[in-house]
């Protein structure tokens, strides 16, 4: 093994095992891209223990926030996911949890005990009007994308205390916004009797930017399409489920990649890649990593749910391989 490869291996080992870092060699390669490019396929992405979305595919960028010089995996406030194109599904169970424990969590929130369900192409919302003495309510409607990239739940039916009131409200010229104040509720507003959701504001960090262009009800999940089509030339970087980061600078653990070439690969591709950024180190430690011929990393990663309640694993084993770097 020549001297350059030995140096590269030492740098990678230092990053994963936490020993004192070496100074960067003066001839270190610089990135040709201004931002880290990110691609995902078939990933169950956790924001919290209870909040996870199914990313069928995603193409975008990882942008450092104003407070950070570069994106850092260990600090969700250091970066933003900028979506160019994505198909992301959220189950009605998870959406109900988001609304109850994140969006309407404040003691004086106007709505409480919210449950979201589907029926065919319709979306039903049940809950309590907290500002009106916890009166039970229910709405039913369809979902579409708004011109500004939000989700509109167009209401066809409203009941309060099991009484249908939409017809009476229409007759009297009354709108839901006259009874429910959502001014202080992030990601939710009322237009007439319609509920407008901004999916970008509904979820906890890491922050996401993007424009919803299509909404579909698929079984007990709501599929959100961001953008209109994948970027030109976007090809899978692996045959299975993965998260890939390419170009610019990215820090994860104690390793900083100057021209990022990192692919986290699902070790069990029969089901979605269950990934939780808060616990990525345990997931990585339960797998193994390989280095490509040009110093990229392919990290074969265990699903989050499969590393829970397991005994601690040995540190990640690194090996060099000569296969093509995009596999």
CB 7 within 8 A of CB 23: no
For residues 287 and 158, give the distance between their C-alpha atoms in angstroms, rounded to a whole number: 51
Mean pLDDT of the chain: 80
Mind listing the pLDDT tens digit for each residue in 92-145? 999 999 999 988 888 888 889 999 999 999 999 998 887 777 888 888 999 999
Mind listing the pLDDT tens digit for each residue in 188-217? 888 877 888 888 888 888 889 999 999 999
Q: Which of 70, 71, 16, 81 is nearest to 47 (CA)?
A: 81
- Of the listed ranges 38-42, 141-145, 250-254, 321-325, the one predicted with least confidence: 321-325
Average pLDDT (29-48) is 84
Mind listing the pLDDT tens digit for each residue in 239-289? 899 999 999 999 998 889 999 999 999 999 999 999 999 999 999 999 999
pLDDT of residue 122: 95
Residue 233 reports pLDDT greater than 50: yes
Is this prediction's pTM over 0.85?
A: no
For residues 274 and 276, give the distance between their C-alpha atoms in angstroms, rounded to a whole number: 7
Average pLDDT (8-30) is 39
Residues sharing a CB contact under 8 Å with residue 309, sequence separation 6 or more, in sequence order: none
Residue 27 reports pLDDT greater than 70: no
Mind listing the pLDDT tens digit for each residue in 304-320? 999 976 655 444 444 44
Which of helix, strand or coil describes residue 151? strand
């Amino acid at each position: 093994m020549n001297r350059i490869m030995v140096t590269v291996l030492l740098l990678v080992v230092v990053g994963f095992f936490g020993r004192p870092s070496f100074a960067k060699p003066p001839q270190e390669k610089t990135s040709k891209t201004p931002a880290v490019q990110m691609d995902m396929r078939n990933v169950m992405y956790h924001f919290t223990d209870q909040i996870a979305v199914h990313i069928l595919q995603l193409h975008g960028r990882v942008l450092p926030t104003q407070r950070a010089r570069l994106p850092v995996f260990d600090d969700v406030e250091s970066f933003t996911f900028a979506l160019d194109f994505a198909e992301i599904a959220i189950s009605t169970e998870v959406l109900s949890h988001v609304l109850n424990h994140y969006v309407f969590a404040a003691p004086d929130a106007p709505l409480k005990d919210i449950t979201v369900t589907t029926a065919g192409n319709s979306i039903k919302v049940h809950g309590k009007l907290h500002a009106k003495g916890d009166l039970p309510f229910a709405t039913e409607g369809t979902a579409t994308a708004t011109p500004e990239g939000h989700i509109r739940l167009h209401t066809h039916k409203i009941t309060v205390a099991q009484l249908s009131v939409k017809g009476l409200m229409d007759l009297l010229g009354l709108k839901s916004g006259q009874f429910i104040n959502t001014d202080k509720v992030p990601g939710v507003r009322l237009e007439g009797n319609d509920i407008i959701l901004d999916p970008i504001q509904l979820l906890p960090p890491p922050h996401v930017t993007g424009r919803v262009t299509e909404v579909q009800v698929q079984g007990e999940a709501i599929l959100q399409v961001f953008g209109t089509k994948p970027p030109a030339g976007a090809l899978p970087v692996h045959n299975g489920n993965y998260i890939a980061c390419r170009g610019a600078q990215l820090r994860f653990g104690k390793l900083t990649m100057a021209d990022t070439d990192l692919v986290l690969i699902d070790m069990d591709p029969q089901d979605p890649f269950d990934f939780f950024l808060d616990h990525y180190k345990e997931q990585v430690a339960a797998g193994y990593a390989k280095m490509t011929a040009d110093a990229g990393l392919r990290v074969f990663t265990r699903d989050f749910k499969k590393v829970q309640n397991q005994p601690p694993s040995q540190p990640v084993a690194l090996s060099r391989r000569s296969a093509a770097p995009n596999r």
